[in-house]
């Protein structure tokens, strides 16, 4: 008989052996090192999740980072920050790079450390000892000093909000040489040392004067958090809303409500209601804010029951705008959100004092609702152990349909369930999008491959040109489908995944191109 390993059937050759176990105990495939690091960087926030602790996630990231070349490590940090819009993981990868290649660190630093929070994250992680050192070192100190002198006054004031370390701590660590007398006065003020007030930037002088005597003075133009502890009039709060950034307004709607900003003779018609609503649904502001679609969902979920309806409607409109780049796909489209029990985990993990209310299931539902909005004939199959029947109306807003899907939450996980449903119905879709944490354990666990691969092979007999996209939204590091020309595994929950799906569906992105997209980043 001929050699079976050389002359296996097409099905046998393409399914492959699932040689790993996921954290739920089910069969799974492992990513190669570069893909695994990209997936961790695009989904991880170093917090406790449903299946693993923050310590285990950190260990996985560090072990995977050690297995990839320095250049790929640097580019992954840039990708995670620029495209994935992540915070903790890019700073962590940058700190790892500081111990490995100072030249690459200097190239990647300005692409990753784009604000004061990222600067403080980088310093905190570097000094923790988790990446192999407890001091900043010569090159990192020089880079931090450079950022401190190049930052605008407003950026430094924003960076001054937060602790562990505070901006004052960072300044004391690196001893930046001020670029001029004004910056010298500002550095002194930030660390609590005596300074010549007249040499401070105008907005800081205004703030100091306002603290001393707020009566009759206009609220200074400083970061919102520097004012929240003060006794401000309703008119002052209204002014803050009017001149605030899009993100600040989105995050403080309930605060404005509590301070009477939306009050008027007729509650719904208060002038500030229309003003704030216009800010929220302004396309230019939304694009400039680089907002996660899920951040809008978080804001919507947190709205007080007393919030004016015009504000609620503006949030719906803002969501439609924020995912405007969701493509319309050719052929039959099926999107499958995982609504199982493990998807209750906060999308950025459990973190003391900073746990988001948005869960993995909310993100899966949001992706599904966004695809349905642009692809009115799409089929949505929420699943746990089995597919759950749910009626969605494509004309409804994304937030409305996402809410309907999240109400399906609960149960075990069988990622093969929606594919089995399609096979049972003899459906032959052109594109299937699976959104999950990939912790499938229920269903048939026999044979060489996973249930997803077995059901996919069956579906492919009806439509050989069908493509499967698996969006992984949790930092667990395994998949239910092997990457190959008709299967794309990508990670993340930013709107960048929509571009990647579109390119793959059109045939302009191959199975390795997610990693290739990172490899192509120019650090010069």
Encode pLDDT of 360-387 as tens digits: 999 999 999 999 998 989 999 999 999 9
Instruction: In whole angstroms, give the CA distance from residue 193 to residue 55.
Output: 38
| pLDDT confidence tier of residue 11, bands split at 50, 70 and 90 | very low
Answer yes or no: is pLDDT of 445 > 80: no
| pLDDT confidence tier of residue 264, bands split at 50, 70 and 90 | low
Give the pLDDT mean for 116-123: 96
What pLDDT shows up at residue 266?
43
Three-state DSSP class for 437?
coil
By mean pLDDT, which of 185-199, 466-480, 486-500 is the weakest? 486-500
Give the pLDDT mean for 63-67: 96
Answer yes or no: is pLDDT of 38 > 80: yes
By mean pLDDT, which of 23-27, 238-242, 289-293 is the weakest? 289-293
Give the pLDDT mean for 434-445: 90
What pLDDT shows up at residue 357?
79
List, in order of start, the domains of the chain with CATH numbers. 86-222 (no CATH), 226-321 (no CATH), 327-519 (3.40.50.410)
Q: What's the CA angle centered on 63, arms 58 and 69, to 5 degrees?
A: 125
What pLDDT shows up at residue 326?
84
Give the pLDDT mean for 73-102: 94
Give the number of other CB atoms < 10 A from CB of residue 391: 6
> Is the CB of residue 42 less than 8 Å from the CB of residue 86?
yes
Between 521 and 218, whose confidence is greater?
A: 521
Encode pLDDT of 202-224 as tens digits: 999 999 999 988 877 789 999 98
Three-state DSSP class for 48?
strand
| pLDDT confidence tier of residue 342, bands split at 50, 70 and 90 | very high
Encode pLDDT of 291-302 as tens digits: 777 778 888 888
Mean of all residue pLDDT scores within the chain? 90
Give the pLDDT mean for 405-431: 95
What pLDDT shows up at residue 205?
94
Instruction: In whole angstroms, give the CA distance from residue 477 to residue 23.
Output: 9
Give the pLDDT mean for 35-41: 94
Alpha-carbon Rg of the chain, whole angstroms? 25
Of the chain, the percentage scoring pLDDT greater than 70 comes to: 95
Q: Judging by beta carbons within 10 Å of its beta carbon (0-12, 13-18, 19+), is residue 77 exposed, middle or buried?
A: buried
> Is the CB of residue 400 less than 8 Å from the CB of residue 367?
no
> Which residue, 93, 108, 173, 94, is CA-closest to 138?
173
What pLDDT shows up at residue 171?
97
By mean pLDDT, which of 74-88, 126-140, 287-301, 333-347 is the weakest? 287-301
Give the pLDDT mean for 301-322: 92
Q: Is 156 left (phi over 0), alpha (psi -120 to 50) or beta?
A: alpha
Answer yes or no: is pLDDT of 135 > 90: no
């Amino acid at each position: 008989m001929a050699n079976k390993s050389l002359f296996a059937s097409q099905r046998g050759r393409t399914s492959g052996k699932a040689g790993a176990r996921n954290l739920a105990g089910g069969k799974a495939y492992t990513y190669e090192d570069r893909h695994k690091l990209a997936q961790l960087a695009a989904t991880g926030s170093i917090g406790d999740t449903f299946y693993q602790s923050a310590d285990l996630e950190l260990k996985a990231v560090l072990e995977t980072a050690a297995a990839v070349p320095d250049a790929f490590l640097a580019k992954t940090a840039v990708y995670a920050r620029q495209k994935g819009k992540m915070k903790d993981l890019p700073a962590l990868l940058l700190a790892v790079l500081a111990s490995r290649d100072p030249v690459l660190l200097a190239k990647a630093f300005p692409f990753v450390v784009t604000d004061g929070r990222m600067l403080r994250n980088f310093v905190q992680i570097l000094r923790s000892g988790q990446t192999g050192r407890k001091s900043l070192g010569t090159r990192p100190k020089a880079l931090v000093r450079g950022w401190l002198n190049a930052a605008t006054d407003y950026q430094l004031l924003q960076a001054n909000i937060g602790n562990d370390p505070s901006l004052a701590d960072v300044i004391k660590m690196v001893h930046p040489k001020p670029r001029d007398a004004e910056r010298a006065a500002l550095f002194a003020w930030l660390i609590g040392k005596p300074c010549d007030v007249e040499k401070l930037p105008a907005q800081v002088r205004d703030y100091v004067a306002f603290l001393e005597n707020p009566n009759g003075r206009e609220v200074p133009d400083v970061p919102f958090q520097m004012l929240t502890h003060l006794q401000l009039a309703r008119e002052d709060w209204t002014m803050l809303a009017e001149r605030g950034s899009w993100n600040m307004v989105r995050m403080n709607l309930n605060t404005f409500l509590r301070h009477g900003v939306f009050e008027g003779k007729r509650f719904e018609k208060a002038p500030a209601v229309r003003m704030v609503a216009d800010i929220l649904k302004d396309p230019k502001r939304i694009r400039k804010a680089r907002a996660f679609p899920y951040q809008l969902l978080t804001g919507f979920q947190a709205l007080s029951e007393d919030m004016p309806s015009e504000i609620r409607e503006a949030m719906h409109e803002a969501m439609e705008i924020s995912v405007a780049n969701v493509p319309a796909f050719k052929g039959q489209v099926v999107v499958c959100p995982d609504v199982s029990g493990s998807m209750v985990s906060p999308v950025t993990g459990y973190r003391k004092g900073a746990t988001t209310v948005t869960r993995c299931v909310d993100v899966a539902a949001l992706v599904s609702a966004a695809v349905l909005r642009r692809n009115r004939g799409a089929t949505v199959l929420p699943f746990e152990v089995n597919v759950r029947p749910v009626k969605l109306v494509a004309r409804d807003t994304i937030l409305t349909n996402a809410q309907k899907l999240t109400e399906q939450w609960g149960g075990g996980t069988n990622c093969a369930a929606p594919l089995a449903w399609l096979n049972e119905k003899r459906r032959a879709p052109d594109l299937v999008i699976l959104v999950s944490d990939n912790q499938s354990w229920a269903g048939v666990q026999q044979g060489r491959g996973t249930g997803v691969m077995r059901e996919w092979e069956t579906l492919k007999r009806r439509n050989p040109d069908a493509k499967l996209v698996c969006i992984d939204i949790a930092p667990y590091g395994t998949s239910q489908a092997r990457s190959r020309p008709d299967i794309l595994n990508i990670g993340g929950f930013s709107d960048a995944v929509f571009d990647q799906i579109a390119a793959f569906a059109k045939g302009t992105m191959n199975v390795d191109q997610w990693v290739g997209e990172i490899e192509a980043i120019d650090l010069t």
